A and B are shown apart, each in its own frame.
Chain A
Amino acid sequence: MKNHVIRPLFVVVGLVALILIIRVFVVPKDFGVHERGYMFGWYRKSNEGDWKTFKIKYQTSEYCKDCHSEQYKKIINSKHAKVQCENCHGPAADHPEKPEKLSIGRSRELCLRCHAYLPYRPSVYAQLPGVPITLKMQDPNVHNPGIECVTCHSTHEASLK
């Protein structure tokens, strides 16, 4: 074969070899086909572990109940029993270290998320043991507009103060 054919051919072969060598170093060892096969399981295996160690922020009321036992007992015996502490107080994360203090949601909008009257909002609440109860709904334009709900109502007891 003539030189002008062979020389570029060497360059191409060399380039391919170089790319393959670089690939060995760049692509992680655990990258490849895993349990779900080539179509759905072609990935870096250790990424599963990366996601598993993602930081938990919402700790659930179980996390709160030992230090705040008084408030916990109150709410667990009220009609708000299924409402998590963190729904109003925000994610606990590493509380009490970080954040040292959690916020208290007192806004009218927070209560209205469930208690504003909408014609299509399910009115029967059956999540508590015993007979289903009615979900208390109010028209926010009629029921004491402008005043915070917590002025008259106790959230932890789900009743009037």
Chain B
Amino acid sequence: MDCDRREFLKVGFKTLLATGVSIGAFELLKPEVLAALNKEKGLRWVFVVDTTKCVGCGMCVRACKLENEVPYETNVSRTWVERYVMTKDGKILVDSPKAARDGFIKNDPMGVTVKKEDIDKAFFVPKLCNQCEAPPCVQVCPVGATYQAPDGVVLVDRTWCIGCGYCIMACPYGVRFFHPLYRVAEKCNFCYHRINKGMKTACVDACAFGARQIGNIKDLEDPVARIIKTERTAVLKEEFGTKPHVFYIGLDSIVR
């Protein structure tokens, strides 16, 4: 084969270029790249809690318990509101009597009357299931009774749960409990029956103060997704690596 140096270099360069381009094309067809291109069409439920707006009326807790048939007189609840009071002498009082079902109508955190001038800072923090992207409660379930739906919501299969309680122990946020009647693990599921019918969760509807909002983080037009992307939000217990999807505005370091 007669091939001088010039010819050899020319062909060699062209071949290199051609391979480079074709490998680049394969890169585009990788499933994760395609998934990223489709991202805005997906559905992933997220929640935003604005603690600066919460007045501790507890209407959300009441609505949640009645909507989701969590026995009203029991102390367990899918959502609750915590009151944090930090006094000038460094004491931190935290309480949530009856999960704040009846609201906070007296200035008696943990049974102590605290004068206004003795308070450094105080506020209310609504809590609910964080619908984590890496939910430890799901990981520990030995029977596949609790799982994450494709839209990110963690659900419990009541017919499949054996009531072992591993998931209740595994949740770093303590959102899970035993349902007193069904005797299975119970948790907030973002009112799955409501959000799938175009409604908002019962707690979001009940809140007259706009402290709670629900949205789809994969929808670029969604106002709630916009808050998470553009405003200063934080999540609870980030160090656990659970990637919680309830974002808080005005979260303080004393909140646990």
A interface with B by C-beta (< 8 Å): 31, 34-36, 39-44, 47-48, 50-58, 60, 80, 82-84, 86-87, 90-91, 109, 112-114, 116, 118-122, 125, 127, 135, 140
Contact = CB atoms under 8 A, between A and B. Distances in A.
Interface string B87-125: 000000000000000111111000000101001011110
Interface string B136-150: 001100001111111
Given A54-B192, A56-B197, A109-B105, A119 B55 contact: no
A36 B147 contact: yes
A77 to B, nearest CB: 15
B58 interface: yes
Interface of A, secondary structure class, is loop
Interface in B54-85: 54-59, 63, 66-68, 83, 85
A52 B57 contact: no
A52 B192 contact: yes
B116 A43 contact: no
B147 A40 contact: yes
A112 B103 contact: yes
B52 interface: yes
A8 B107 CA distance: 72
A40 B135 contact: yes
Nearest to B86: A120
Nearest to B132: A40
Interface stretch (B10-18, B163-171, B200-208): B200-208
A40 B148 CA distance: 6
Contacts of A119: 107, 114, 116, 119, 122
A56 B191 CA distance: 9
A53 B105 CA distance: 36
B209 A125 contact: yes
B208 A82 contact: yes
